[in-house]
A and B are shown apart, each in its own frame.
Chain A
Amino acid sequence: KQEVTQIPAALSVPEGENLVLNCSFTDSAIYNLQWFRQDPGKGLTSLLLIQSSQREQTSGRLNASLDKSSGRSTLYIAASQPGDSATYLCAVETSGSRLTFGEGTQLTVNP
């Protein structure tokens, strides 16, 4: 059974700091890995999707890496802003388009 773990559970940083969120998964037989953002009481916004054959994806200040063999991914956020405050979820896709989510990292960026 696939299990996804995210560390840390919560993170509070001052504005402007670069930060790294971690995600690990137990079964390396994945199709892809996604990072999502969730604001309180809202749905999910897809940030980055990394196919299993890829090593990283970049979008603006976000960079996600994937090491499939070791079952790890990181989300790097550069020059953090208060608007980045949200819960960040990673999810891996396995057979049948099933997504298994981690419990998320709650990020607070203080002005």
Chain B
Amino acid sequence: GAVVSQHPSWVICKSGTSVKIECRSLDFQATTMFWYRQFPKQSLMLMATSNEGSKATYEQGVEKDKFLINHASLTLSTLTVTSAHPEDSSFYICSANSPGRGTDTQYFGPGTRLTVL
């Protein structure tokens, strides 16, 4: 149990376009989802925390108008990179947890590789 999926697994887009990444909890309801970004040979940096039905909380330095997060249901959160530029090329990973499962564990998705040309 506790599977988190991401779609797409990789995407290549032109500079200036927008890209949407989906994060789904397949077998549990995720009250909270997290979005991370990982640059090559670096660690994961938390971008934002989203709770179902409310606005996301962004980390300092993360542009909320550029990285739009929607958590419309207990099993789906989306991250939209608007007007993407080459510097947005990165590995984006989501995670989800549900306190009701009686555990603090966050379950991570497999990641989405974004390349902006």
> Which A residues lie at the B interface, using CB under 8 A?
31-32, 34, 36, 41-46, 49, 51, 89, 91, 93, 96-104
Q: Enumerate chain B residues within 8 angstroms of A42, measured Cβ to Cβ.
A: 110-111
**Min CB distance, B26 to chain A, in Å?**
14
Q: Is B49 a contact partner of A98 (Cβ separation < 8 A)?
A: yes
The residue that B113 contacts in the complex, of A41, A97, A99, with Cβ under 8 A, is: A41
Chain B, residue nearest A45 (CB): B108
The verdict on B106 contacting chain A, using a C-beta distance below 8 Å, is yes
- In B37-59, the 8 Å CB interface with A consists of 42-46, 49
Q: Is B110 a contact partner of A101 (Cβ separation < 8 A)?
A: no
Main secondary structure of the interface of B (DSSP, over half): strand
> Which B residues lie at the A interface, using CB under 8 A?
6, 32, 34, 42-46, 49, 91, 93, 95, 97, 104-111, 113
Given A43-B93, A89-B43, A97-B108 contact (CB < 8 Å) = no
Q: Enumerate chain B residues within 8 angstroms of A41, measured Cβ to Cβ.
A: 91, 111, 113
Q: Is A49 a contact partner of B111 (Cβ separation < 8 A)?
A: no
Q: Is A96 a contact partner of B49 (Cβ separation < 8 A)?
A: yes
**Min CB distance, B108 to chain A, in Å?**
4
Q: Give the distance in Å from the alpha carbon of A34 to the alpha carbon of B6 in the complex.
A: 22
Q: Give the distance in Å from the alpha carbon of A42 to the alpha carbon of B49 in the complex.
A: 21
Q: Enumerate chain B residues within 8 angstroms of A89, measured Cβ to Cβ.
A: 43-44
Q: Give the distance in Å from the alpha carbon of A91 to the alpha carbon of B46 in the complex.
A: 12
**Min CB distance, B41 to chain A, in Å?**
8
